[in-house]
Structure 1
């Protein structure tokens, strides 16, 4: 199974060369010599095949840096004032906005949908409002339906139109049973805000975030362009600059937006938290540092904020290949800014151009890298090996893919997903018995893996 959360199988695919004309533009501002991670950004961009990005970091009342590197997709120099999309990282704005609304008593997060929606379906009536924002409501997905394209292309579409489409579709699961990505919950929440407060989500962002933080370049395109439908604003679509995000971090740190500990308490409320996801925010603890935030656009944008240390990092790029650099780069910066230690490099940097390798090469390089425990970050090793395997599989290098997937099984024996991937490669190779065993193990480790369960059923019927 591919890791779609981190992007398609090409998430970590490499481009061997970046045009030499780009090289001179890697930095448009002086690098702070104290921050070692900043010095490594050009190298990381080459390894990940990203031609341009912007990054900012804030600690307490100081903007430590706010810089652009390389060039945009259109060939313009990337600067700290270059506009970039937030995509699903817009949910950080939603998280802060709803935290303020709850603090001011303007919305009751525990209120049931029957209290907010006059014609709420019976199955929805007991669902508390907060489940709309942590993807646990069970309300069906909207964006994958045939009718969504027509709504999205109509400038007059409102969130209420989404509600009317999904209200009569059975819930995908019992409320609170799972947390599965469902933008439709954000549409329903925005509809409720409009009905209860007579304010759009954009109005509330302006009131609670951009005005107090003096952010001048953060907005949704629909605010300025009537041809853009103004719905699902809180789920994605805002654009910003890293300079503006630095202002947002400062606004949190000085409590003009919201006090850091109030936002933290809001997100860590045990009712709102489902595993590592809360209301518009992924909660992550690494190296003893708790951060909140969200990525978006296949990791084209990534926002991380450490409330205890009052430290914020934002990385954005207009890279359309979703190479995923924004995630490890933000982690590295956060680690160095909080601990003062130079962080290890992402494991991907150990492989170079892995597409030129074979399966045995991958195994050898991985083992050598593993011996250097202080040299590389292995936290994403499972996802990286999985994506390398799928790169080989898509190139019809099936045996190389099987070798990589077997390494992943060896390294991550408790992951059902790695067995699922191995089973797919073995089935492609025509080894049905081996594939059956792998799929059966995938199901044993993750009974909710319907794809693997169907493969087991089919293979058993063919025996």
Structure 2
């Protein structure tokens, strides 16, 4: 959940390390991890901000596995740690590893033009290389942004060529290699490169080279006609309750986002990336080194909680995924959700911090109901966005615009924080009366005046 201006999420698909600092197998540095992590999961589940499964592991040994919410709300089927979820753009990690695997075999060269493998590309894309596609520095326009894509194309069975046709005549966003912009088209093209270089269909290549050898029996490429056991249905949480996630054909995601998996299978994927089974040390070093904008070759690369953090999120209608690796600690966190507002990335990052012993959340304080009542009411900013604050029991609940409710946790006499988003709320008073609400997110204050 993010404050879009204030609190919302909506997206479509949106190597070689030392283990010297690793904790003993199966043990987080924080000795109170189980209690703190259990409460974190319970809180986001109670607020219905998260429905899905989570896993935390040290050196390949799970230290936390939990499932909350329902895999199917029509039939009231609960999620389990073995529920299969669509993982959206986390698929890109598999596509990237497949390319580096083919590089190791001498079948693909990173700095060759993509047109060498896909002769049908427009002449204006001649300067685009495989490396640029992997790092989102190609300038190739994103087919997800094509006119009518969400309204029409996601409802149709697609091929790689039909998806490419959506942007074939569109100018490049920038000169190849000159800038960075996330592009699902880049990974569409990489899927086509994999098929050309390997002589196999993209789903077959992944199954034969990765899923079967690693025992990832719960991971696969979704198709429109597939019957997939234990697959969750996707949902959206609205202010008025739950709604079915928007329909999307799996083929419209292809190599950019058409995979499904489980938290356990993604742990197997994680462990295979510590040695040379899939990609050489040189290839892993390339993947896990940032090129631009904290992005390497198919992997987000950043520092979190003072640690190197590589991984990839995923969002596809009705689902969210977060796959996080802290290789120097041999720490893995996976959060898969069948809710489009599933706060998977926030929860996964928080669980990593709790495992590492970081003070993730401010210390909570207890406030009297009468004090909380003094903050309730409506607040509006200069842009007309309405925020409504109500008391429910011993806590405040906040509604931002038409978005779902979020719980506020007291950190002081008039300050609060959220567990669904990195946002702080503080109430200002004058002459003993609350007259404004200040919401701080990403270092910026948003001021809402009380509606009298």
Higher-RCO chain (CA-CA 8 Å, sequence separation at least 6): 2
Structure number having the greater helix percentage: 1
Q: Name 2:361's counterpart in structure 1.
A: 345
Any residues of structure 2 matched to 1:84-163 within 5 Å, and which?
84-146=85-147, 148=149, 150-155=152-157, 157-163=158-164
Question: Could you give the per-residue CA deviations for residues 288-323 of structure 1, whole angstroms, max 9, x where no partner exists?
Answer: 211111112278211001223332110112123x14
Distance 1:244 1:188 in 2: 26
Q: Name 1:287's counterpart in structure 2.
A: 305
Q: Alignment partner of 1:209: what SS?
A: helix
Q: Name 2:167's counterpart in structure 1.
A: 166
Change (3 A) 1:98 1:350: farther
Q: Name 1:36's counterpart in structure 2.
A: 35
Change (3 A) 1:358 1:377: closer
Correspondence 1:233 to 2:254: yes
Say whether the 8 Å CA contact 2:219–2:261 is kept in structure 1: yes
Change (3 A) 1:207 1:12: closer
Q: Name 1:180's counterpart in structure 2.
A: 181
Q: Alignment partner of 1:65: what SS?
A: strand
Distance 1:369 1:99 in 2: 51
CA drift of 1:141 comes to 2.1
CA drift of 1:378 comes to 11
Change (3 A) 1:356 1:263: farther
CA drift of 1:7 comes to 7.3
Distance 2:250 2:349 in 1: 34
CA drift of 1:199 comes to 1.9
Say whether the 8 Å CA contact 1:11–1:323 is kept in structure 2: no
Change (3 A) 1:224 1:205: farther
Distance 1:189 1:132 in 2: 7
Q: Alignment partner of 1:168: what SS?
A: coil
Q: Name 2:326's counterpart in structure 1.
A: 306
Which TM-score applies when normalising by structure 1? 0.66
Distance 1:131 1:350 in 2: 52
Distance 2:55 2:272 in 1: 14
Q: Alignment partner of 1:95: what SS?
A: helix
Say whether the 8 Å CA contact 1:36–1:342 is kept in structure 2: no
Say whether the 8 Å CA contact 2:409–2:418 is kept in structure 1: no
CA drift of 1:128 comes to 1.2
| 2:270 alignment partner, one of 249, 253, 264 | 249
RMSD, aligned α-carbons: 4.4
Question: Could you give the per-residue CA deviations for residues 55-80 of structure 1, whole angstroms, max 9, x where no partner exists?
Answer: 11222242333332343351322211
Q: Name 2:57's counterpart in structure 1.
A: 58
CA drift of 1:349 comes to 11
Question: Could you give the per-residue CA deviations for residues 32-68 of structure 1, whole angstroms, max 9, x where no partner exists?
Answer: 9753343223443256533632111222242333332
Q: Name 1:21's counterpart in structure 2.
A: none
Change (3 A) 1:35 1:99: farther
Q: Name 2:234's counterpart in structure 1.
A: none
Q: Alignment partner of 1:265: what SS?
A: helix
Distance 1:404 1:140 in 2: 38
Change (3 A) 1:57 1:213: farther
Distance 2:35 2:93 in 1: 27
Q: Alignment partner of 1:278: what SS?
A: coil
Q: Alignment partner of 1:308: what SS?
A: helix
Distance 1:348 1:11 in 2: 24
Q: Alignment partner of 1:186: what SS?
A: helix
Say whether the 8 Å CA contact 2:131–2:297 is kept in structure 1: yes
Say whether the 8 Å CA contact 2:146–2:167 is kept in structure 1: no
Distance 2:54 2:134 in 1: 27
Distance 2:277 2:219 in 1: 17
Distance 2:178 2:137 in 1: 7
Question: Could you give the per-residue CA deviations for residues 379-438 of structure 1, whole angstroms, max 9, x where no partner exists?
Answer: 974xx36xx89xxxxxxxxx95xx536x66xx83xxxxx59x78xx99xx9xxxxxxxxx
Distance 1:198 1:350 in 2: 63
| 1:11 alignment partner, one of 8, 24, 29 | 8
Which TM-score applies when normalising by structure 2? 0.67
CA drift of 1:216 comes to 0.6
CA drift of 1:268 comes to 3.8
Q: Alignment partner of 2:57: what SS?
A: strand
CA drift of 1:236 comes to 1.0
Say whether the 8 Å CA contact 2:112–2:129 is kept in structure 1: yes
**Structure 2 residues without counterparts, runs of 5 or longer:** 11-30, 228-247, 382-388, 390-395, 397-407, 427-434
Change (3 A) 1:146 1:358: closer
CA drift of 1:359 comes to 7.8
Q: Alignment partner of 1:345: what SS?
A: coil
